[in-house]
Amino acid sequence: MKKSARITAALLAACMALLGAAFTFPDVRPGEWYTENIEAMASSGLLNGYEDGSFRPGGTITYAEFISVAARCVGADAPQSGSHWASGYMKRAYESGWYDYDEIYEADFDKPITRQMAVKIVDLAFDIPQNEQANNAYYKYMTSIKDFNDIPGRYGYLVVRAYNNGILTGDENGNFNPLSNLTRAEACAIIMRARGKGAAPFPQAAPTNTEPPKAAAISGGVSQNGKLSVSGVDLVNQNGEPIVLRGMSSHGIQWYGNFTSYNAIKNTADFGANLFRVAMYTGEGGYLSNPDSVKSAAYAAVDSAVSNDMYVILDWHILSDGDPMAHVSEAAEFFAEASKKYAGVPNVIFEICNEPNGNISWSGNVKPYAETIIPIIRQNSDAVILVGSPTWSQDIDKVADDPLSFLNIMYTCHFYAGTHGAWLRDRVDYARSKGAPIFISEWGTSAANGSGGVFLSDAAEWLDFLAQRNISWANWSLCDKGETSAALNPGTSPDGAWSDADLSESGKFVFSRLR
């Protein structure tokens, strides 16, 4: 592209940036490493937010999105040339030699772009200099990039060029991760840097910059109660005194991750919660489909709860994948990592399988699963572990008849007030009478499908029953979905302070019972 055209494009972008100065998204908080870059990109119309007003900085970015942003940045005109919305930009990119015919097929346009491909695009689109210095740098990066051998030859020199020009650095382990995806926030940073405007540090510097604010101690929080353990059927604090945790569960973070922001969790604590549950779906487009992005969203949510002085449940939310054994190796890998990451962090509770269901049994499926996963967690951590049971975590009677033999574990019982009544409360008492500790890691004021009702008098009966027994609970769910179990009305901002008008019928009831 001609230099004059590039200058014009830059000027245009700068003017648009001025016009759209106050460009903010509820999920892009001021002061994050990515905030400046995202706002610059959005206000110049290069990469927009979603219809619901969010930006989703942690979401992935597709080939078509990334390449059309790069093309727009360099002022490429792109007449529509095919059925895909980005076909004009893609054709232009291909013709400019930004990618080869065998690298991106049309069927891939809407898939998340790989890091190796993103680097190639920015190097070529922005004409990053391949100077003498970069040639000398090759040897340096060949040895310093830990996974350099995983980078296919056609990208190696491009990665070196990008590193050498400060467009990116490796992850905290020194890896480039050629086949991993890019978050939208990272894409903004890389592109802004490549176009010579990015002032913010690259995402991998994030750990020092994203340290969430330390919140004041909360009532019933971790600074008061410290490390938890299980004594008899009771959950107890560091002094061996019974403690009750009450709070909210997120909805699926792959859908409603914006309600696990620092502010959303803080709002929940302000309403009196000392517990937050991070529901990391495995199926339904969750962890099993996008392990890297879903996992980092889950960790970010855990970290936000920790900095709000709350206890936090990291939930392997099986649901459509009813048999926990179906993905036991993925679970093993995940809990090995998570228990290491949070070893010694007293806030964190591991829930190893949300709701087993389908044609499975406690002794044949869930118990062997627990016997596989719990020892893996125990290599790093003696945190409290929650274990589900068949029939959406209602078969606690079967569990009590055939318990696990580990310390500091509790069994989950899930109820929905419109569906599950006295018979399930009887099971809770039966299980406890046999010595099985019970934790209600999920319950709703609705019927079992998350909607219907709300059934507030049934819910009140349940909460009174639990209060009499010091049983802890997390309510489903903290989100604004149009279903009765959601605590917030549709359209509620995750980050603003919630007024009464923002709370759904369920939310008003549940929040009033948190303290």
Q: Which is nearer to ligand DCB, 130 or 290 (CB)?
A: 290
Count Cβ atoms below 10 Å from residue 469 Cβ, excluding itself: 17
Site for ligand DCB in 252-311 (CB under 6 A): 252, 284
Q: Which is nearer to ligand DCB, 165 or 389 (CB)?
A: 389
Considering only the stretches 20-28, 116-124, 327-335, 413-421, report the one whose residues sit in contact with ligand DCB under the rule CB under 6 A: 413-421
- Identify whether 355 is a catalytic site residue: yes
**Could you give the CA distance from residue 182 to residue 60 in angstroms, rounded to a whole number?**
6
- From the CB of 144, what's the least distance to ligand DCB, in Å? 44
- From the CB of 355, what's the least distance to ligand DCB, in Å? 5
Which position among 355, 371, 483, 505 bears the catalytic label? 355
Which DSSP state fits 350?
E
Q: Report cis status (omega within 30 of 0) of the bond before 345.
A: no
**Could you give the CA distance from residue 515 to residue 504 in angstroms, rounded to a whole number?**
18
Which pair of tokens denotes residue 139? 């040897």
**Could you give the CA distance from residue 418 to residue 448 in angstroms, rounded to a whole number?**
7
Select from 141, 476, 498, 511 the one that contacts ligand DCB (CB under 6 A): 476
**Could you give the CA distance from residue 386 to residue 438 in angstroms, rounded to a whole number?**
9
For residue 336, the Cα-to-chain-centroid distance in whole angstroms is: 18
Q: Which is nearer to ligand DCB, 186 or 442 (CB)?
A: 442
Select from 62, 258, 308, 485 the one that contacts ligand DCB (CB under 6 A): 485
Q: Which is nearer to ligand DCB, 223 or 449 (CB)?
A: 449
Q: Which is nearer to ligand DCB, 296 or 449 (CB)?
A: 449
Do 385 and 352 meet the contact criterion of CB atoms below 8 Å apart?
yes
| Strand boundaries in 33-144, DSSP class E | none
Site for ligand DCB in 312-341 (CB under 6 A): 319
Burial of residue 457 (number of CB atoms within 10 Å: 0-12, 13-18, 19+): exposed
Count Cβ atoms below 10 Å from residue 464 Cβ, excluding itself: 11
Which pair of tokens denotes residue 481? 């979905």
- Identify whether 442 is a catalytic site residue: yes
Closest to 25 measured CA to CA, from 50, 61, 59: 50
Q: Which is nearer to ligand DCB, 419 or 445 (CB)?
A: 419
Burial of residue 270 (number of CB atoms within 10 Å: 0-12, 13-18, 19+): middle
Considering only the stretches 261-269, 301-309, 363-371, 447-455, report the one whose residues sit in contact with ligand DCB under the rule CB under 6 A: 447-455
**Could you give the CA distance from residue 165 to residue 190 in angstroms, rounded to a whole number?**
11
Is 448 a binding residue for ligand DCB by CB under 6 A? The answer is yes
**Could you give the CA distance from residue 65 to residue 46 in angstroms, rounded to a whole number?**
10
Considering only the stretches 33-41, 91-99, 412-420, 500-508, report the one whose residues sit in contact with ligand DCB under the rule CB under 6 A: 412-420
Count Cβ atoms below 10 Å from residue 332 Cβ, excluding itself: 16
- From the CB of 442, what's the least distance to ligand DCB, in Å? 6
Q: Which is nearer to ligand DCB, 59 or 252 (CB)?
A: 252
Q: Which is nearer to ligand DCB, 75 or 283 (CB)?
A: 283
- From the CB of 476, what's the least distance to ligand DCB, in Å? 6
Select from 36, 458, 483, 502 the one that contacts ligand DCB (CB under 6 A): 483
Q: Tell me what percent of the chain is helix, strand and coil, each rounded to the nearest 5.
A: 45, 10, 45
- From the CB of 278, what's the least distance to ligand DCB, in Å? 13
- From the CB of 445, what's the least distance to ligand DCB, in Å? 11
Is 458 a binding residue for ligand DCB by CB under 6 A? The answer is no
Do 230 and 409 meet the contact criterion of CB atoms below 8 Å apart?
yes
Considering only the stretches 149-157, 427-435, 446-454, 507-515, report the one whose residues sit in contact with ligand DCB under the rule CB under 6 A: 446-454
Q: What x-and-dash track marks residues 415-444 binding ligand DCB by CB under 6 A?
A: -x--x----------------------x--
- What is the size of the binding site for ligand DCB (CB under 6 A)? 17
Which position among 442, 461, 483, 505 bears the catalytic label? 442
Ranked by CB distance to ligand DCB, the top (closest) residue is: 450
3-state secondary structure (DSSP) of residue 122: helix
- Which contiguous run of DSSP H or E holds residue 316? strand 311-317
Q: Which is nearer to ligand DCB, 197 or 251 (CB)?
A: 251
Select from 219, 223, 296, 449 the one that contacts ligand DCB (CB under 6 A): 449
Strand partners, 275: 247, 311
Site for ligand DCB in 337-366 (CB under 6 A): 354-355
Select from 392, 455, 473, 509 the one that contacts ligand DCB (CB under 6 A): 392
Burial of residue 442 (number of CB atoms within 10 Å: 0-12, 13-18, 19+): buried
Q: Which residue has the tokens 């409290």?
A: 384
- From the CB of 394, what's the least distance to ligand DCB, in Å? 6
Angle, in degrees to the nearest 10, between helices 184-194 and 63-73: 30
**Could you give the CA distance from residue 183 to residue 122 in angstroms, rounded to a whole number?**
15
Is 481 a binding residue for ligand DCB by CB under 6 A? The answer is yes
Task: Give me the residues that bind ligand DCB (CB under 6 A), please.
Answer: 252, 284, 319, 354-355, 392, 414, 416, 419, 442, 448-450, 476, 481, 483, 485
Active-site positions read 355, 442
